[in-house]
Amino acid sequence: MTGNTALTIGEVIERLSEEFPDITVSKVRFLESQGLVEPGRTPSGYRQFSTGDVDLLRWVLRQQREHFLPLKVIRKVLEGTGGRVPEPDGEVDESEVSPFRERGRSRRFVGSVSVSLEELAATGGVDPTVVAQLERLGLVVGHEAGSAIVYDGEALHVVRLAARFLELGVDARHLRMFLVGAQREAGVLEQALLPRLRGDDRSRREVRAQLDELVDAGSQLREILLRRSLGRLDDQS
């Protein structure tokens, strides 16, 4: 614990909840168990946090929310700073660790991360039960790594998007409609493009480029039609 102010875990939640409404006692304890914050202890064993600990937790949560960083990457950064928020402004160089890059208006995965279910939940800002539900619905897919199940950058992005739906009152089970729609769309595109594959590198490159174009066009068309269908909300706002 750094600093002189002694805060209970409940007081820490109060200080963080305005920026992070979903912060819970269990999440703070999980981040502690991952070595990201080390509160002091009273003689009776109760946690005592400092204002520095609160600043550190706030930085960790921002890295998860804004940069989709896995905890092992955040931990590595903190190991290099002696457990303090990095200077000058507490940001991490995303060029080495971000699993995404911008391409037009869409995000495409260009790298990979490997995190546990608990770490995925913490990074995504949701309870582990939410991740488990998303996995049952087919929205999140885990991969075997020896005896463990790990999740990649795509799963991180899906969980973060799902968390936003949950924040705005959309039940997780309704998100399956996006999967069903995507599977139907994929079937249509496969029927259109598979006959153009001739087994050579050139045709594969051409089909890949055509697929990217159709995916982007489909995304834009979907947005136009959705906003048209939601016109009643615009009329009443």
Q: What are the average pLDDT values for consecutive 10-residue runs of the chain, which has 237 residues?
A: 73 91 81 87 88 92 75 82 73 44 36 75 91 96 83 88 93 95 93 87 87 88 89 64
Residue 148 pLDDT = 80
Please state, in angstroms and as integers, the Cα–Cα distance from residue 237 to each residue in 59, 167, 230, 234, following that order: 36, 20, 11, 5
Same domain, 1 and 76: yes
| 168 and 180 housed in the same domain | no
Phi, psi angles (nearest 5°) of residue 6: -105, 115
pTM above 0.85, yes or no: no
Per-residue model confidence (pLDDT) at position 22: 75
Residue 237: predicted pLDDT: 52
pLDDT of residue 99: 39
Which residue, of 174, 194, 228, is where some domain finishes?
174
Co-location of 167 and 180 in the same domain: no
Tokens matching residue 117: 């279910």
**End residue of a domain, out of 127, 155, 174:** 174
* Residue 6: strand, helix, or coil: coil
How many whole angstroms separate alpha carbon 47 and alpha carbon 39? 6
Q: Print the domain residue range for 193.
A: 175-236
The confidence score (pLDDT) of residue 32 equals: 87
Give pLDDT, residue 86: 83
Please give the tally of structural domains in the chain: 3
User: Mean pLDDT score of the chain, rounded to an integer?
Assistant: 82
CATH code where residue 156 lies: 1.10.1660.10
Same domain, 58 and 77: yes
Final residue before a domain boundary, out of 132, 151, 174: 174
C-alpha distances (whole Å) from 80 to each of 55, 85, 87, 114, 224 are 17, 10, 11, 21, 47
Alpha helices in the chain (DSSP H): 9-17, 25-33, 51-67, 71-80, 94-97, 117-124, 128-136, 153-167, 176-193, 201-229, 231-236
